[in-house]
Amino acid sequence: MSAIQLLLTAIFAVIYGVRRALHLDEVRDIGFVLVTGRPRPLAHGTFQHLPRNIPAEAAERFYQTTAEQ
C-alpha cells in the first residue's frame, strides 16, 4: 500500500459517495478499485487508523503549509 493509493482512496471515496470509512468494506465497484490503484478496496480499519500514525509535528507542519494566509 502506498501513500498515493491512500490519497486516491480518500479522494475517490468522496466522489463515489462513501460516507464513512466503515463503508469501504462494502464497496464492490470495480471502477472504484481501479481508480485507487489497488487489487481490492482498502479495508476500513487500515484507512480509519491512519491519523494515529501521523506524527503531531508533521501534521502541524502540513497544516501551516496549507493554511490560508
pLDDT confidence bin for 37, thresholds 50/70/90: confident
**H or E segment at 32?**
helix 30-36
Q: What is the pLDDT of residue 69?
A: 60
Cα gap 58→56, rounded to integer Å: 5
- Tell me if 42 sits within 8 A of 1, measured CB to CB: yes
- For 14, the domain range is 3-66
The pTM assigned to this predicted structure is: 0.58
Number of domains in the chain: 1
